[in-house]
Chains A and B, each alone.
Chain A
């Protein structure tokens, strides 16, 4: 019996050790550092209470990053799910090349946000501008990435292109698990296509919606790679009387607070707020969706 305990412990040790040293200790340290004047260089660390938390909410860049991240997340949750669901309906409607389409729509998701960000930066800044100049479309003659009002939409567009195929596959799995007898019965009763989608497919796929909305919400909120490669935060704008970056999402703001401005404790405090907001939003979303599932 005692030998069994030793083997059990030895089996769990590698994961427990890595988990403790990589997640638990840094997480605890992170919360502590957020309450100090830690700058990563000086050995002496002083406790400063909630000073870092108070200062961030009067910082124009952080406030704007916060708002724009909420907006970006909201746009993505709608876009990615609407496009993903529409694609899922298309590739489950008995088209000849459906497997080929599924694979194709899925591909962008396999490539990292960093690489895709550079590709789309080229497309927005060079290809779209070139096409609009040839065709004489004034609205697109300057890049959508260099306008503070369109840059977030451009980023959401790329995110939707990248992510919709993945979300599509989750909907496909859900749609295929709906018994076909149910859909046939509805057709016999005279339900048209849209009626069948609204009254059968969507309620029956309620479980999938909980997952897909959760995934799009959390990944959009944590977006960094695409943001960095596509816009690197630009273009500049004025907000609360200061010059700031108009497409710097929260994850990038946290990173640049620490890396370009060397304010590690301030960055850590922002990260703690970021974590709390993310957890609260995910909990609200899952609770609301689960309630819907039960009703359906």
Chain B
């Protein structure tokens, strides 16, 4: 006992400055990690000439930020307001459709103990390895064929892209919800059936409310993917159509105003603000959702 105490003493003395150095080092690393965001903010508050003069200098006049933001909002190319609304519509609709229909499908697959239900589930899971690149060109061709056949265009429309997101998002969502529904006690559903609930009513009144914690994970994982996605909107919506998501708008803007960093950086700033604001409010859920999604 005494021997241990003597040994422990020099360690605590040494540990104090070491702890302080550790804290300072991580702080420094953290600040380095944040430098890109800082650079975006200061350079969004400068004129093009000021940026060329020095990209690291403090802005001479912060009101330039407002001038730049106004330029983005009034630019006919980026149409930030309508891009924001389009992104919001597409993301919200896709999330609702993916979560709702995947839950219905996953529930049937869990509760049906047949060979075909296992096969369907495995089909969904194994499709998760298919990279977007293999299906993207045939998808566009195929969407054009379907659109022509049923006289309801899928390319360049909200319902077309939401349908595509349902197809791409349902595999992983069914996989996550399948795991969760397995943990929902069957007795609850049996009790509802005895009380006279039909199959559909049992699902909507009993099962669906119990899935809320899993929905948080599913909504966050799909939401971040859909909000930031560039290739699928590029292919399904195109660059010349009326509907444009934020990534499409930023790419169009950067392509049109080559090297006009004041405006390009301001457009990236505006693209980041909604996500960062959301993150500040829902930080705990977002981190938890993304980590759980990966581990499953």
List residues of chain A with CB under 8 Å of any chain B CB.
3-4, 7-8, 11-12, 14-16, 18-19, 21-27, 29-30, 33, 40, 87, 90-91, 93, 95-97, 101-116, 118-120, 122-123, 126-127, 130-131, 161, 165-166, 169-170, 173, 208, 211, 215, 222, 224-225, 228-229, 251, 254-255, 258, 264, 267-268, 271-272, 274-275, 278-279, 282
Q: Is the CB of A161 within 8 A of B199?
A: no
Closest to A87 in B: B29
In the complex, per-residue mask of B28-67: 1 if CB is within 8 Å of any chain A CB, else 0: 0110011011011001000000011011100000000000
- State the Cβ distance, A196 to closest chain B Cβ, in Å: 14
- B168 — which chain A residues lie within 8 A by C-beta? 22-23
Taken together as a complex, chains A and B put the C-alpha atoms of A258 and B138 apart, in Å, by 11
With A19-B171, A101-B26, A224-B231 given, is the CB distance from A111 to B55 under 8 Å?
no
Which of B69-77, B182-190, B265-273 contacts its partner? B265-273
With A12-B105, A104-B30, A114-B228 given, is the CB distance from A7 to B199 under 8 Å?
yes
Taken together as a complex, chains A and B put the C-alpha atoms of A76 and B130 apart, in Å, by 21
B295 at interface (Cβ–Cβ under 8 A)?
yes
- The CB with the most chain A CB atoms within 10 A, among B27, B138, B272, B294, is that of B138
- State the Cβ distance, B212 to closest chain A Cβ, in Å: 19
Closest to B40 in A: A119
Q: Is the CB of B56 within 8 A of A131?
A: yes
Partner of A26 from B107, B112, B142, B228 at Cβ < 8 Å: B142
Q: Is the CB of A225 within 8 A of B231?
A: yes
Closest to A24 in B: B127
Q: Is the CB of B138 within 8 A of A126?
A: no
Q: Is the CB of A229 within 8 A of B254?
A: yes
Taken together as a complex, chains A and B put the C-alpha atoms of A211 and B23 apart, in Å, by 29
Q: Is the CB of B268 within 8 A of A29?
A: no
- State the Cβ distance, A171 to closest chain B Cβ, in Å: 10
Closest to A166 in B: B290
- A229 — which chain B residues lie within 8 A by C-beta? 251, 254
Closest to A101 in B: B30
Count chain B residues whose beta carbon lies closer than 8 angstroms to a beta carbon of A: 82
Q: Is the CB of B251 within 8 A of A11?
A: no
List 14 additional A-B contacts (Cβ < 8 Å) besides A21-B146, A255-B231: A7-B200, A8-B112, A11-B108, A11-B203, A15-B174, A19-B127, A27-B134, A29-B141, A90-B22, A111-B228, A123-B36, A131-B56, A268-B137, A278-B129
Q: Is the CB of B287 within 8 A of A130?
A: no
Q: Is the CB of B164 within 8 A of A22?
A: yes
With A19-B171, A114-B251, A120-B36 given, is the CB distance from A95 to B23 under 8 Å?
yes
The secondary structure that dominates the A interface is: helix
Taken together as a complex, chains A and B put the C-alpha atoms of A272 and B203 apart, in Å, by 40
The secondary structure that dominates the B interface is: helix
Partner of B167 from A22, A95, A268 at Cβ < 8 Å: A22
- B219 — which chain A residues lie within 8 A by C-beta? none
With A104-B30, A105-B30 given, is the CB distance from A23 to B135 under 8 Å?
yes
Partner of A169 from B23, B108, B290 at Cβ < 8 Å: B290
Q: Is the CB of B51 within 8 A of A112?
A: no
Listed by A's residue number, 17 A-B pairs whose Cβ atoms lie within 8 Å are: A11-B104, A11-B203, A15-B170, A18-B164, A18-B170, A21-B163, A26-B139, A26-B142, A91-B26, A93-B22, A112-B228, A115-B250, A118-B264, A119-B36, A173-B291, A264-B137, A275-B131
Partner of B124 from A19, A22, A161, A225 at Cβ < 8 Å: A19
B218 at interface (Cβ–Cβ under 8 A)?
no
- A116 — which chain B residues lie within 8 A by C-beta? 36
Taken together as a complex, chains A and B put the C-alpha atoms of A105 and B286 apart, in Å, by 14
- B286 — which chain A residues lie within 8 A by C-beta? 110
Q: Is the CB of B132 within 8 A of A14?
A: no
With A40-B141, A211-B295 given, is the CB distance from A110 to B224 under 8 Å?
yes
- State the Cβ distance, A4 to closest chain B Cβ, in Å: 6
- B247 — which chain A residues lie within 8 A by C-beta? 112, 114-115, 225
- A112 — which chain B residues lie within 8 A by C-beta? 227-230, 247, 271
Taken together as a complex, chains A and B put the C-alpha atoms of A110 and B247 apart, in Å, by 13
